Amino acid sequence: MRMGFLTGLSASLLTLGGWAVAVPAEAAPASTVVTCGQTITASTRVANDLVDCPGDGLVIGADNITLDLAGHSISGINAPGSEGIADDGHGGVTIEKGTISNFFLNGIGLRSAPGSAVSKMTIRQIGAGGVQGETSAGVLVKESPNTSVSKTMVSNDVSAFQSDGVDVLFSARAVISGNRLTRNAWDGMFVFFSPGTRVVGNTLDGNQNQGVEVNSGSGHILLAGNDAAGNGSNGLVVGAISGAQIWHNTLTGNGASGLFMFDLLHSSISHNRAHANGVGIDLEGGQHGSRGDLVMNNDTSRNDFAGLVIANGSNNNLVAGNLSNANQGSPGNGGGIVLLSVTGNTVRGNVANLNLSVGIGVFEGNPGDSAGNVVTDNVANSNHAHGIDAVTGTIDGGGDIAHHNTPPPDCLGVVCA
C-alpha cells in the first residue's frame, strides 16, 4: 500500500531550529473576487467564498506569491482528481488563512513547489469514496524541499481507502509544526524519502491508522514535542532510517504501540512519555536489524501489556534511565522492560516497579538467541513475577536491586541486592 529556493526581492528566510525555510515576504494587495478554477498569478487576498467547485478550486500560476484566503472557504463536489488549491511547479508560494473542503485528490497539492508554506488553514472531508489504490491528503508536499506546513487543522473523517492529513514525499528539510491532524481516514501524517524533515509540536489524534509514519529515506528526522493520542494502530512509527531524533513526545491511548520502530540505526529516543497504549515503546529489528540506538529517560508506565520492548534483532543498543512502572500485561504477556531474541544490548539504570508481569525480562525465542545482553544498576520492586528474569548467557553487570517481587526469588539470571 505504501510500503533553487526563492529568488527576487519578494523572498525572505525564516530560521526554524537551524533550518532555513523560505517564506515569501510580499504583502498581498486589496481583496479580489475569485472564481472556481481560476489561475492565480499575483499575490491575492480573496474577497469571497467558492462553493461547489466542479473541478479544482484555485490553481497557482506563478512563483513567490501569497494566496491569502482571508477567512474564506473553498468547497468542491468531490469530483475525481479535484484539488482545493493546486500548485504544479511554482515555488516560494504561501497559502494561508482559509478553509478547504470536499475535494477528492488533495485539499492543497504542492508538487515541485520548493520553499512554499501552508499556514493557518482548515481542511476537511478530502477523498471521500476513495477505493483501493486511490490515495488522498489534506496537504500533499511532493518534490518540494524546504516547504513548511504550520498551524493547520486537517480532518478527513470520510469513508475512503486512504485519506491522510499531511503527506510529505521526496521533500527534504520540510518543517511540519503546530498542526492538528485528527480523525483522518488513514494516517495523520506520512513522511517518505524526506531527509532532515522536522515534525514538531503537532497534535495527532483519532486517526484510523498511525498518528505519524516516517518510512524509508527520511534520515536525520526530528520528531519532537508531538502529542499522539487514540490512533487506531500506533502513535508514531519510525522505520528504515538512521540518525532520527525522537524526543519529548507524548503518546497516549494508541491501539498498538505509542512508539513503534524498526530497522532503525544510530538514533536517539529520549524523554518520551507513553501511557495507556498496548505497548509503550517497541523497538523491533525489522528486516535488517536496529542497532546503535539510544533509548534513554523515557516514561513507559501504565500501558496495557508492556512498557518498553526491545525485540527480534534489535542488537547493540543502550537502554538506560527509563521508568516503566505498573504495566498491566499478565505474567508471560507483558512486563516493564522486555528483551526478546536480541543480543549486545546494555540495560542500565532503569526502574521497573509494580508491573503485573516481570519487571525486567531478558527472554529467548530460540535457544541462545538472547545471550550477551548486559543488565546492570536497575531497580525492579514489587512486580507480580520476578523483578529481573534473565536467560542464561546474560552478562551480570552488578548493582541491580529487587525486593518484594512475587513469586520469589526476586531475580533469576543475575544477582540482585
**Taking the C-alpha atoms of 321, 326, 328 and 329 in order, what is their torsion angle to the nearest 10 degrees?**
40
Q: Do 253 and 327 belong to one domain?
A: yes
Report the pLDDT averaged over residues 272-298: 98
Whole-prediction pTM: 0.92
Residue 203 resides in a domain: no
Q: So what's the pLDDT on residue 25?
A: 43
pLDDT band at 28 (very low <50, low <70, confident <90, very high): very low
Q: Cis ω on the peptide bond leading into residue 29 (within 30° of 0)?
A: no
Q: Do 307 and 408 belong to one domain?
A: yes
Q: Do 124 and 267 belong to one domain?
A: no
Q: Is the pLDDT of residue 95 over 50?
A: yes
Cell output for 125: 472531508
Cell output for 253: 491511548
Cell output for 24: 515569501
Residue 323 resides in a domain: yes
Number of domains the chain contains:
2
Q: Is the pLDDT of residue 23 over 80?
A: no
Q: Do 161 and 43 belong to one domain?
A: yes
Q: Is the pLDDT of residue 33 over 50?
A: yes
Q: Any idea what DSSP says for residue 49?
A: -
Q: Do 144 and 254 belong to one domain?
A: no
pLDDT digits 0-9 by tens, 369-396? 999 999 999 999 999 999 999 999 999 9
Q: Do 176 and 263 belong to one domain?
A: no
Cα–Cα separations (whole angstroms), residue 205 to 197, 302, 347? 21, 19, 32
Report the pLDDT averaged over residues 119-144: 98
Q: So what's the pLDDT on residue 19?
A: 46
Report the pLDDT averaged over residues 328-351: 97
Distance CA 113, CA 110 (A): 6
> How would you classify residue 404: left for phi > 0, otherwise alpha for psi between -120 and 50, otherwise beta?
left
Q: Do 129 and 269 belong to one domain?
A: no
Mean pLDDT check: name the lowest of 4-18, 79-93, 122-136, 339-353: 4-18
Residue 192 resides in a domain: no
Q: Do 171 and 296 belong to one domain?
A: no
pLDDT digits 0-9 by tens, 205-261? 999 999 999 999 999 999 999 999 999 999 999 999 999 999 999 999 999 999 999
CB 191 within 8 A of CB 200: no
pLDDT band at 13 (very low <50, low <70, confident <90, very high): very low
CB 379 within 8 A of CB 354: no
Distance CA 352, CA 341 (A): 20
Q: Is 18 exposed, middle or buried (0-12, 13-18, 19+ CB in 10 A)?
A: exposed
Q: Is the pLDDT of residue 100 over 50?
A: yes
Q: So what's the pLDDT on residue 16?
A: 44
Mean pLDDT check: name the lowest of 7-21, 255-269, 285-299: 7-21
Q: Do 157 and 295 belong to one domain?
A: no
Q: Any idea what DSSP says for residue 28?
A: P
Q: So what's the pLDDT on residue 29?
A: 65
Radius of gyration of the chain (CA): 24
Q: So what's the pLDDT on residue 332?
A: 86
Report the pLDDT averaged over residues 341-345: 98
Last residue of a domain, one of 181, 207, 225: 181
Q: Do 254 and 333 belong to one domain?
A: yes
CB 131 within 8 A of CB 159: no
What are the residues facing 270 on neighbouring strands? 247, 296
Report the pLDDT averaged over residues 62-72: 98
Distance CA 224, CA 211 (A): 14
Q: Is the pLDDT of residue 9 over 50?
A: no
Q: So what's the pLDDT on residue 30?
A: 84
Residue 270 resides in a domain: yes
Distance CA 369, CA 346 (A): 15
Chain centroid to Cα 186, Å, comes to 13
Range of the domain at 260: 234-417
Report the pLDDT averaged over residues 317-322: 99
Strands 212-215 and 236-242: parallel
Q: Is the pLDDT of residue 24 over 90?
A: no
